[in-house]
Amino acid sequence: MSFYRDQVLPRLIDRVMRAHDLDELRARVASKLTGDVLEIGFGSGLNAPFYPAGVTRVWALDPATVGRKLAAPRLAASPAPVEYIGLDAQRIPLPDASVDSVLTTWTLCTIPDVAQTLTEVRRVLRQGGTLSFVEHGRSPDPAVARNQRRLEPVQSLVFGGCKITRPIGEIITAGGLELTGLKQYYQPGLRATSYTYEGQARRTDRT
């Protein structure tokens, strides 16, 4: 892993994603979590202050180990214990049907094989367990989508492989999860990078 991806990028993302106007969104998405939780893309622990009382423990996955240093103060104040379990969401080191909830925030855009990750998410979720997510992705507006395609090579280079053209809702359902709620909207800022998918999906018996 390059020095930029290992040392610089986690600090850059921590600074960018610390914006206070994202706190309400983080709190809203995290409020649906219960029981044993897997957070994919744990990063610098920006979601930890928003874990609700119903969370009993959190397993954390993230490819950047420097994020653990940045997360330390937030983990000390976390209402739930957090355990790091690995670096690769494409091979989640947990048994089948072992978690009640999965959380992703601005993460599915960067995973190389996101389809494999969602297959793994479905595997580790208990029957009826839920994925709570907020992600940016492809806009339904053709003009914005064209700009996203133009911008994506730069976005990907600067932000560790971030893809802003992924149709997040479709990707989640293709992974065998059933959407139970989905909001789509633009966040303030550049429209090409701010189109947002927020919602929940659950594991069902469908294969």
The range of the structural domain enclosing residue 180 comes to 3-203
Q: Among candidates 139, 141, 194, 189, which has minimal Cα distance to 168?
A: 139
Sheet holding 99-105, edge to edge: 82-86, 55-61, 35-40, 99-105, 125-136, 195-203, 177-186
With 0-12 CB in 10 A as exposed, 13-18 as middle and 19+ as buried, what is 42?
buried
* Continuous segment of H or E residues that includes residue 204: none
Report, as an integer, the average pLDDT of 33-52: 96
- Please, which contacts does 69-77 make with residues 24 or more away whose CB atoms are closer than 8 Å? 70/10, 70/11, 70/14, 70/43, 70/44, 70/45, 71/42, 71/43, 71/44, 71/45, 72/45, 74/44, 74/45, 74/46, 74/48, 74/49, 75/45, 75/48, 77/48, 77/49
pLDDT at 207: 47
What CATH number does residue 11 fall under? 3.40.50.150
- Residue 204's pLDDT band, with cuts at 50, 70 and 90, is confident
- Residue 6's pLDDT band, with cuts at 50, 70 and 90, is confident
* Continuous segment of H or E residues that includes residue 33: none
Give the residue carrying structure tokens 């053209």.
165
First to last CA, the chain: 36
CA 205, chain centre distance (Å): 24
Considering only residues 21 and 59, tell me which one the structure prediction assigns the higher pLDDT: 59
pLDDT at 90: 93
Tell whether the model's pLDDT for residue 206 goes beyond 70.
no
> How many distinct structural domains can be found in the chain?
1
Tokens encoding 172: 């989640």
Q: Encode pLDDT of 125-151 as tens digits.
A: 999 999 999 999 999 999 999 999 999
Counts for the chain of helices (H) and strands (E), in that order: 8, 7
- Whether 115 and 171 have beta carbons less than 8 Å apart is answered as yes
Percent of all residues in the chain with a pLDDT value above 90, rounded to a whole number: 85
pLDDT at 115: 96
- For residue 93, give the amino acid letter: P
Q: Where are the alpha helices (DSSP H) in the chain?
A: 3, 9-17, 23-30, 66-76, 114-124, 142-158, 168-174, 191-194
Report, as an integer, the average pLDDT of 146-170: 96
